[in-house]
Amino acid sequence: MIRGIKNPLIEKSKFLITPEPFENEIFSSWFARCAYAHHTYPKTFWHLHFPLKKFTYNLTPNIDASILEDVLEVLSEKTSFPVKKLKNMTMPSYDGYLQEEIIRNGSNKFLTQYRFCPKCWEEEKIPYLKKEHRIVFYTFCKKHKCYLHDKCPKCNTPINPYKMYNNELKYNFCTKCGFELCKTDVQYIEKNILFESNTQLLEILEKGYINLGKFIIYSFSFFDILAHISKLILLHKKIIIKNSENIFLKNFNSNTFSKTNNSFARISIYEQYLLFGIIINLFESFPKDLKKYMLHNKLSYFDMVQDIKEVPYWYETTINDISPKIIYCARMITDKEIVNAISYLEKRKLIVNQANLTNLLNCNFFSSYNHLKHFLKKLQQ
Ligand SMILES: [Zn+2]
Ligand SMILES: [Zn+2]
């Protein structure tokens, strides 16, 4: 492959050969194939057409999300493809589905590293990288019902369509050790409830909406809530699912999580699959299971909405019905009323806890400001 050359004439020229994009092929995969067709190393090919002195773009995995319209227009002239066709290969084509607007700088919680299905790559005449596989919810191949992979199984190097092993092997070979990635062991998925809920998750993204009880909800609004619940699970260990601590979630190593970093990226594809399956199940008989999750994990209204930039109406209403939003500082009930409420719960054989008292008295027993939490603790000692 031609590498590291400069030729100002090429900047103004069209591509000599332009491969047709495959179905759902991602931009970077297609661009790498354009470079191969010109016997040129992908990064060199990019800089020949987009010299650094004019374009600040570098060829990194972020380009699938961050490429701007002006670069697409130049590419459109070079390839004779309409801009729309080129844009359709990029992540912003998921605007309004995955997020209201995809964050262009690449630091996007739902975008993930390149993934591939070893079976697809074995079957395809020309293996290519798929656009949907850069979305964190795609943990498995729908066609072959096996997990996707994002690294070389021999040396753990991530997939990278812009590098080439020995300057000759294409992206379907590991860029560090040259392993042919379609020979990766295939791990098939058991057909169970988790598989069903993960399949459902992909359908929500494809349709762009979900029906929950009386609400019809945009998929991106639902995914924001899914991300928040993931955070409650991964970061705050709120892992009581159906009355007991979930064994899978308990085994996740969450010590390495930090609030600022993307939590999804820190767990494996298999763990993501478990996590999403479990969360989708919480919305199965809406809002019953979500209510149980909140009560069992002692989650207040505040816990459920904290850090969400714009709390959607459907979610706000549901959460407020389960654990009402209450003025934090005010304590509007007497000690006697609390004691009475506790004996009321005991008589009805209901658990005396923060959640049930909050529901019964409409005062927030989770808040530290009104001292109800401490008062209850003292009573129970
Ligand atoms: Zn496949
Ligand atoms: Zn390798």
Residues 67-116 have pLDDT tens digits of: 888 899 999 999 999 999 999 999 999 998 998 887 776 668 899 999 99
Q: Which ligand is nearest to the CA of 159?
A: 2
Q: Name every residue whose Cβ is closer than 8 Å to that of residue 318 and which is 6 or more positions away in sequence.
A: 213, 286, 287, 290
Q: Which of 145-149, 202-206, 333-337 has the lowest mean pLDDT?
A: 333-337
Enclosing H/E stretch for 141? strand 140-141
Peptide bond before residue 287 is cis, with ω within 30 degrees of 0? yes
The answer, as to whether pTM is greater than 0.75, is yes
Residue 127, token pair as written in the block = 């293996």
pLDDT at residue 117, rounded to an integer: 98
What count of other Cβ atoms lies within 10 Å of the Cβ of residue 65?
20
Could you give the 3-state DSSP secondary structure of residue 228?
A: helix
Q: Which of 36-40, 67-71, 121-125, 285-289 has the lowest mean pLDDT?
A: 67-71
Angle at alpha carbon of residue 352, lines to 348 and 358, rounded to 5°: 105
Phi, psi of 81 (to 5 degrees): -90, 140
Q: What is the pLDDT of residues 209-250, one digit of tens each?
A: 999 999 999 999 999 999 999 999 998 899 999 889 998 888
DSSP conformation class of 211? E
CA of 123 to the centre of ligand 1 (A): 9
pLDDT at residue 202, rounded to an integer: 97
Answer yes or no: is pLDDT of 331 > 70: no
CA of 178 to the centre of ligand 2 (A): 6
CA of 146 to the centre of ligand 1 (A): 7
CA atoms within 13 A on the CB side of 1: 24
Residue 55, token pair as written in the block = 């374009």
Answer yes or no: is pLDDT of 124 > 90: yes
Percent over 90 (pLDDT), the chain: 65
CA of 29 to the centre of ligand 1 (A): 17
Q: Could you tell me if 17 and 38 are in contact, meaning their C-beta atoms sit under 8 angstroms apart?
A: yes
